[in-house]
Amino acid sequence: MTQALAAMARMTLRQLRQVASGLGVSLYSRKSKDELLAAINDRQDEDPPSLEAIEDELPPAPRPGSVTTNVVFLPRDPQWAYVFWEISPADRNQAQAGGASQLCLRVADVTGLPMGSAHPHALQEVVVDSHATEWYLPVPLSDRDYRVELGYRLGNGGGWISLAFSSVARVPALHPSEQILDQFVPFSLETSPGVSMPAIAAPSPDSGLHERLYQTATSRWRRLGRGSEAFHELEEAGIDTSELHASGAGIWASGRNDSGRGGVGSRQRSFWLVADAELIVYGATDPSARLCIGDQEVPLTADGTFRVQVPFRDGQQLYPIEAVAADGEQKRNITLEFNRTTPEDNSNPADKAIGEWF
């Protein structure tokens, strides 16, 4: 190792990053100290710059009286963050005189909260070396906002001396966003003459997969539906429903057959409402893997993602998802359970609207 490289080996990580930046080393902020030394050695000419030349390019060292206590929080990736700080001699001496024993970093989750607040039970305290000026912190959870507090813990175990707070920084998500912007087709239930409805794309060849997944997910928890849904289920089961109308009651229950009409003309109006929900199951795996939900194989996109929309009706639904590697040696699985209830259902489609007394 040359004398210049030996001198650079005694530099701090921040100083090495400044040297690497001047030499045009790519991704220098993500490299360790040894990696930076190797990259700098590769970029240097046969006659490396002297230590004096390197020091001339660095900013002047702060004077002892000008140092202020501060801490900086820099997310490095979704799992790690880099923190560096400075402590003025006055603050350090005052803390030691007050009984300071350990220098600590407190990481607080402040996602969605006003300045100065933090989520309860989300505080992580890390003890660092008393003479250190930088530290790598593991991130508790990605895609969140964090703030770091620098301070000393007192020797009696019950006190805390706060020195400085960092700015709030957002830790990036571990995976790219899988949210898909759905394009909804505008529609009208009643079209005026001469107005054509926009064309709706034909269903994909595997559109029946969604219903098959729903039937598989609810096969263990099948029960009679509600209202008109129960009426159609009785027909599918082969039960005679000729004596039932859409509400599931007998023909004499409503009192609106011929025998129930009086001589006074009635005023009737028909009204209707439809509402429902769908369940979206999505995820990602290796593009070459085989993915199944229950006993149904689900096709993957080129990047290994999948997304299916299945009916979300009343009752309990189980979706056991399993991915098997192309060689069949590795497997991963997860089971999702959902439960929907409809406390009240007084809805009906427009074609089933009937006249009502008022």
87 in the same domain as 51: no
Task: Tell me, yes or no, whether 341 lies in a domain.
Answer: yes
The β-bridge partners of 322 are 292, 333
pLDDT over threshold 60, residue 308? yes
- Give the confidence band of 246 by pLDDT, cuts at 50, 70, 90: very low
H helix or E strand, kind and range, residue 1: none
pTM more than 0.75: no
Supply the range of the domain harboring residue 33: 3-57
Rg from Cα positions in the chain: 34
Q: In the chain, how many H helices and how many E strands? A: 7, 16
213 in the same domain as 336: yes
Q: Which of 38, 57, 76 is the last residue of a domain?
A: 57
37 in the same domain as 129: no
- Give the confidence band of 253 by pLDDT, cuts at 50, 70, 90: very low
280 CB burial (10 A radius; 0-12, 13-18, 19+): exposed
313 in the same domain as 274: yes
pLDDT for res 302: 86
163 in the same domain as 292: no
CA torsion sign for 196, 202, 208, 213 is negative
Rounded CA separation 294/220 (Å): 12
345 in the same domain as 224: yes
235 in the same domain as 284: yes
Task: Tell me, yes or no, whether 110 lies in a domain.
Answer: yes
Closest CA to 340 of 304, 319, 311: 311
Task: Tell me, yes or no, whether 247 lies in a domain.
Answer: no
Task: Tell me, yes or no, whether 158 lies in a domain.
Answer: yes
pLDDT for res 238: 56
Task: Tell me, yes or no, whether 215 lies in a domain.
Answer: yes
Task: Tell me, yes or no, whether 190 lies in a domain.
Answer: no
Task: Tell me, yes or no, whether 21 lies in a domain.
Answer: yes
Higher-scoring residue by pLDDT: 248, 301? 301
pLDDT tens for 314-357 read: 889 899 999 999 888 899 999 999 999 999 888 888 888 777 66
237 CB burial (10 A radius; 0-12, 13-18, 19+): exposed
pLDDT tens for 103-118 read: 999 998 888 887 767 7
Q: Does residue 81 come out as left (phi exceeding 0), alpha (psi in the -120 to 50 range) or beta?
A: beta
179 in the same domain as 311: yes
Is residue 310 helix, strand or coil?
strand
The β-bridge partners of 315 are 340
How many structural domains comprise the chain?
A: 3
- Assign residue 86 the CATH number of its domain: 2.60.40.10
